[in-house]
Amino acid sequence: MQRSAMRRGASNVELLVGMVILSIAAMAVARVVISQTRYFEHQKTAIQARSVPRGPLNRLVSDLRMVEAIGGVIFASDTAVVVRAPYALGVTCTNVIGNTYVSILPVDSAMYDSPGFSGYAWRGSDGVYTYVESGTPLLPILDLNLCNIPIVTPLLAPGARIVKIPIPLANPPLSLGTPVFLYRKIRYSFRPSSALPNSRGLFRTIVATGQTEELSAPFEATAKFRFFVLSSRVPEAAAPADLSTLRGIQLVLDGMSEQVPSGRVAKQTAPFTTAVYFKNRPN
């Protein structure tokens, strides 16, 4: 009986061929992995750039959309605006011994109790609001039935309240039922970010308290405020000298990613533009 021939191992040539084939396959897989990694990184930075302007948008618009057209803006430039933002609305309901009482419509308690009261404004017969700066919050009145008069039905729902203004609003006193609102002075500004060095952020400041909050970052250098004057549909780059002619603000909130994605030399950007038009515009 013959012994079976012993099997030889792989030759050097076979090993070299196998290594070449394996290297080619590994390079192909590596290219796919690198390509997918870059794709996901680009997607991530694009999402970052888009989220920058969308984050503070609700806060910004909720303040600006309540601003009254004449007198609501007290400072404006392409990098900052200061507005009188109403946070509680009501009507005058009685005048007693030189005090004016205002029945406030139901309002969110967190919004109402937040610090930063700056003053109040009342609407004249010509439709123009008169603003009164005041650093002292108005006194709340616990008895909601104080305004139980024929022209103003007392509001007893949760969130309703009465406040006392310790002076007559006008001479002679205003007609009962005159609209009144309470406001806070708020500054929105683009300036160097505190959270991300060497970038731009959008800040919200309560003027009465100086409390500042960085809403979002980073923004491109093109992020700015533009202004609608009277009935013009084209926003202007500079605010008008007469701020009472402002009828809206265009918000150019061009965001950008926090880092440069692989394979690129610049950060991802996301152009974003919207506008807010003021309330109670006479023209």
First-residue to last-residue Cα distance in the chain: 115
Note the pLDDT of residue 155: 63
Rounded to 5 degrees, what are φ and ψ at 59? -65, -45
The length of the chain is 283
Q: How would you class 223 by CB atoms within 10 Å of its CB: exposed for 0-12, middle for 13-18, buried for 19 or more?
A: buried
CB neighbours of 267 closer than 8 A, spacing ≥ 6?
45, 49, 218, 256, 257, 258, 259, 260, 261
Q: Which amino acid is at 28?
A: A
Note the pLDDT of residue 154: 59
Gap between the Cα atoms of 135 and 66, Å rounded:
21
Gap between the Cα atoms of 208 and 249, Å rounded:
23
Note the pLDDT of residue 108: 82
Gap between the Cα atoms of 76 and 244, Å rounded:
11
Cβ 186 vs Cβ 208: under 8 Å: no
In Å, how far from its chain's centre is CA 27?
48
> Percent of the chain having pLDDT more than 70?
87
Note the pLDDT of residue 156: 61
Residue ranges of the chain with per-residue pLDDT less than 70: 1-10, 34, 36-42, 148-159, 170-174
CB neighbours of 103 closer than 8 A, spacing ≥ 6?
90, 91, 92, 93, 147, 152, 154, 155, 160, 162
Note the pLDDT of residue 151: 62
pTM over 0.85: no
